[in-house]
Amino acid sequence: MYIVDDPTLALIARFVGDSARQDVSDAEFFRRQYAAIEEYVERFPPEQRDQRALAWIEANAMRYRQQWQKGAVVEVLANRRCPDCPLAGGSQRKPCAIHTRWLKLLQRYAADQLSSHDYVAKSLALLAAHKDGLKVSECRAQSCSTPLPAPCAS
């Protein structure tokens, strides 16, 4: 998925969710957008539908794409975990507690409840609060038996 409208989301998708390209199809986006347009124009007489479809595209296409991209990135990253996560254990497929907290920040950003600046600041604060627990070499030496630090306020 190529993201052009939101630099922060593009960075997240490239840096954190590189595999998102495999999981999110542009064809699926177009299929869903086409279905949304069809649903909208069905309420109009057949002779008005082409004109109404063009009006919908002009008024809504950019916002629709932006919202779909945000939702798609959140969906792809929801069940991912870092391959070298020192907190969740080597064979677990479930995201660790820090990833879960970060995902809540991402969901708030995607829902336009956080600005890009606030999302980045809160994400960095989350990492800083847990930096000792995130040290891969230290945690692996201790067999990841160190308990997770207390949650930070977000």
- pLDDT 10s digit of each residue in the chain, 154 long? 566 677 777 777 766 655 444 556 778 888 989 999 999 999 999 999 999 999 999 999 888 888 888 888 888 777 676 666 666 555 566 677 788 888 898 889 888 899 989 988 998 898 888 777 666 554 444 544 445 555 444 4
The overall longest dimension of the chain from CA atoms, in Å, is 71
Integer distance in angstroms from the first to the last C-alpha of the chain? 29
- Other Cβ atoms less than 10 A from the Cβ of 68: the count is 17
CA atoms of 85 and 105, how far apart (whole Å): 19
Distances in whole angstroms, Cα of residue 124 to Cα of each of 5, 67, 121, 143: 23, 24, 5, 26
CA atoms of 33 and 57, how far apart (whole Å): 9
Structural tokens at position 152: 């930070």
